[in-house]
Amino acid sequence: MTAMTDSPDARAVDIRAMPKVDLHCHLIGTVRARTFAELARREGLQLPADPERIFADINSLPPDPELYRNTRIPVPQGRSADEPDISYSLFQASRWVTEVLRSDEDLTRIVYEAFEDAHIQSSTRHLELFFDAVPEHLSSLGYAGSVEAYAEGIRMAERDFGMTGRMIAGIDRSRSGEYALELVREVVANPHEYVAGIGLDNLETAGPPERFVDAYRLAGEAGLGRTAHSSEHAPTAVNTVTCLDVLGCDRIDHGYYVLEDPAVVERVRDEQVAFTVVSTTSRRSWRPWRRASIAAMLDAGLNVIPASDDPGMFPTTLADEYRILSEQIGATASQLRAMAFAGVEAAWLPEAEKAALRHRFAAEFEAAQA
């Protein structure tokens, strides 16, 4: 890795090469279009377009604009210039991908490829992947069998790329609190070294955090990490306060609407709550708002850590997210470095592994400065 410079070309190379941690990445959203195409052909799944075209044209429509009047940072109400004529929602694309995953070998493959892409494209050293509940057509594997298939992909990546990795059990917040509790009971009953925690996903407006108190309490008692998508779709800071104080979250995914409440901004700055932020979203019209919000979070001194979210489907890479921070948001080289180290501190790793990762980052940055 070379030292960061003011040259745009050199900066792009340096940002790609600097060591990074990705703590907010959904496994289904990492699947390569060509892998999806191969598996769709194998399963005879009829698609409306080629997978490359589908992924390139993903564009989730924003919710009711009336929810977003008078926010601190204005939310765009119209279409953006780059929206395709025919578009596909992120959820629909994810359902298609899930449908063609039919074996433990498929699960191992997509995990390994997620790590390989993160390693090659972004110099990611540690990756934490959200995985969803086992679909009905993979029920023969069960939870334990699916997790072991994912774990095998991580082991292969650790061997081949020198990375570390963990998995996060995703809770679909559109489901009931009882469903979430049963899911966490299964996670707790089948402990696995590579399953480090739980997280709430899906649209924030589909399920308030209060619904999942019992599930999060059980996860905390079992020593699992806890995170949640919050203040991403609901234009309020209240949900983030609930996630921290009631659910006991160790970090927050997204969190842009904390800016609506100055008192909450002051609190999360003082506590240095880790926010995994993503400048790119399937809601294309919202991308300028996302970037303006992240800029304001940085200006307020919040602990923001870049993430990739659904890199195969947006599409983006973790390096792209750092590049946007540098070139569009104005983050300095020292801020980018601080974000990389903040990712290490927020990672759900045993202290010995975290210390080793911290040492590795320090050595790589020191070598770059030399």
Cβ-based neighbour number of residue 78 at 10 Å: 8
Q: Which residue has the tokens 């997509």?
A: 110
Q: Which amino acid is at 48?
A: P
Q: Which two tokens stand for residue 82?
A: 């780059």
Mean pLDDT of the chain: 94
Q: What percent of the chain has pLDDT over 90?
A: 90
What is the reported pLDDT for 79? 85
Whether pLDDT at 12 is above 50: no
Averaged pLDDT, 30-35: 98
Averaged pLDDT, 29-36: 98
Residue 13: band (very low, low, confident or very high) from pLDDT cuts 50, 70, 90: very low
SS3 71: coil
**pLDDT tens-place string over residues 107-128:** 999 999 999 999 999 999 999 9
Which stretches within the chain are classed as H helix?
8-17, 33-43, 51-56, 90-99, 104-122, 142-161, 177-189, 213-221, 238-245, 262-271, 287-299, 318-324, 333-346, 351-369
Whether residue 157 contacts residue 115, with contact meaning beta carbons closer than 8 Å, is answered with: yes
Burial class for 65, CB neighbours closer than 10 Å (0-12, 13-18, 19+): exposed
Residue 7: band (very low, low, confident or very high) from pLDDT cuts 50, 70, 90: very low
Q: Assign residue 275 a region: left if phi > 0, alpha if psi is -120 to 50, beta otherwise?
A: beta
Q: How many CA within 13 A on the CB side of residue 337?
A: 15
Whether pLDDT at 275 is above 50: yes
In order of their start, the domains of the chain are: 19-60+80-369 (3.20.20.140)
Q: How many CA within 13 A on the CB side of residue 73?
A: 19
Whether pLDDT at 10 is above 70: no
Measure the CA angle with vertex 240, ends 234 and 243; round to 5°.
120
Whether pLDDT at 63 is above 90: no
**pLDDT tens-place string over residues 303-340:** 999 999 999 999 999 999 999 999 999 999 999 999 99
